[in-house]
A and B are shown apart, each in its own frame.
Chain A
Amino acid sequence: MCFTISLCSLLSNFQVSRFNSTLVIAEHDDAKLAPITLNAITAAGKLGSDVSVLVTGANATKVAEQVAKVSGVKRVLIAQDEKLKNNLPERVTPVVLASQKQFNFSSIVAGASAFSRSVIPRVAAKLDCSPISDVTEIHSAGTFTRTQYAGNAVVKVQSSAPVKLMTFRGTSFPPAAAEGGSGAVENAPAGDIKTDLSEFVGQELSKSDRPSLTTAKIVVSGGRGVKSAENFKLIFDLADKLGAGVGASRAAVDAGFVHNDMQVGQTGKIVAPELYIAVGISGAIQHLAGMKDSKVIVAINKDPDAPIFQVRSFCFKKLTVNGHFLLH
């Protein structure tokens, strides 16, 4: 580890290096690249540097082929190893560190998701660098904007960290084109992967044919006002008519109407669709944090004083619980 610390102090003497390079850590499910990685590749390109992408996992080769075609990707590093199945952060970190040791990237980044929030800070600790979460804007290779206090303070920061470790808010950067790139594919240097710290037991992923909440063009969300899990069917029906993703407020999740991975807000998912329809959601600070960048917000609520009405574009006040949501 002494190496990286000395490397860090050495690097800080050359803050303005002529050559910048960025490593994006790819997220995938062994078959498909996660869409947020495409947003991260766009953001990485804005750092004014070469973009490399690291794909780790038990089936990394297939995903690496997809990544190599992404516009703007210069190099793809593959770390394929049975030990990397499910990409546990304790195992991905040494691979990232080995790649850093060999290529000396000026930034190591990923899309802000549960996966990268687990990996990026762990890598940052090893490099003795202070990471920056959920960046929404890039001004230069060292100056960024992010939000605090549930989106109620927009903070511009300058990082003097020798290596910039960052996660990017997916909805703030357009996805890179999945075609048209021709990145060179090579094997990542081998990391010292320890397997005794943690192991993957299993997962229960919510199955749904609807568009993913974070990338859907239209999102319909239900809150406490929907009243029950049965009534949530109205929300799903409306969403299906519109080809929309379905979200929920914390109250709806806590009341057991829907699963927690549908929660929109400060501590749930951040969405910014073209159209966000909030049904029976009062609009607490924490919920607004997750959707107030939507292009058009429609609120359907019977309480004319609900805070959601302060951000909506159109509202419709006369909600009946039986709701006339038929769209023809």
Chain B
Amino acid sequence: MRILVGVKRVIDYAVKVRVKPDKTGVVTENVQHSMNPFDEIALEEAVKMKEKKLATEVVAISMGGPKSQETLRTALAKGADKAIHVEVPDADIAKVEPLHVARVLQKIVDREKFDVVFLGKQAIDDDASQTAPLLAGLLDWPQALYASKVEKAGDSHLKVTREIDGGLDTIKVKLPAVLSADLRLNEPRYATLPNIMKAKKKPMEKLSAKDLGVDLTPQTKTLEVNDPPVRKAGGFVDDVPQLIEKLREKGLIKS
């Protein structure tokens, strides 16, 4: 089984983003970036599947500017065998939509055989949560989203436990399939120094969307980006009775 894992370079989750004064987007220059947390989890699961001899090869792919190569090197250091970088000029990155990414992934899958495409459930920058189901639709493959457990079920199926709104459900999907990782699937490993050194020697293929014949014309135009409304700071209360009194006054709790 060959697994393709999508990894995205995003602003680090701990950074408080700042909206640009001209309202065109958020400030990304000189801001700490890292691999999207959900992608780390997808990659970890793929590498684990390889360690359990369920998978033979794990290929990491990223679509983005030149710095996405750092994200791919991290993926190689964490256990991916090969990397594919689909380069997008920095100026166009903000216009790339999940649909474009899904089309690129589709072309890669058409070019060589993969049994599983494993993605994160969402990127923490655009919060779209679309790429996995879009890709499954384009390929006509089954999808298992928000996976919190992935098991083999015979030679041709995977059994996946998913985090849904009311709890958990379990489905069986026929291979080839698209999977997306939720938070509680696993605890991603750290890349060790020797592995970071070894990763430098692993192969990285460079392509462009054009090489793959994918048109990046956007269907969604950003008109403006604003800060969320600021909440008015409240006051402190000294004790519980005072808190309850305040809430009663506001009619939020009944006597």
Contact = CB atoms under 8 A, between A and B. Distances in A.
B220 A157 contact: yes
Interface in B14-29: 14, 16-17, 19, 25-26
A198 B133 contact: no
B70 interface: no
| Chain A: interface size category | 35 or more
A124 B26 contact: no
A118 to B, nearest CB: 5
Contacts of A234: none
Interface string A74-94: 000000000000101110010
Interface of B: 11, 13-14, 16-17, 19, 25-26, 38, 97-99, 102, 121-122, 124-130, 132-138, 141-146, 148, 159, 162-174, 182-184, 218-228, 231, 233-237, 239-240, 243-244, 246-247, 250, 252-253
A130 B250 CA distance: 44
Contacts of A261: 163-168
B239 A197 contact: no
Contacts of B14: 285
Given A198-B174, A260-B184, 8 more contacts: A114-B165, A130-B98, A149-B26, A153-B225, A157-B221, A206-B166, A275-B253, A314-B235
A269 B165 contact: yes
The winner among B98, B133, B253 for most chain A CB atoms within 10 A is: B133
Contacts, number: 240
Contacts of B130: 117, 121, 124, 131, 133
Given A130-B218, A149-B26, A315 B236 contact: yes
B133 A117 contact: yes
Nearest to B228: A154
Contacts of A254: 183-184
Contacts of B247: 275, 296, 298, 314
A118 B133 contact: yes
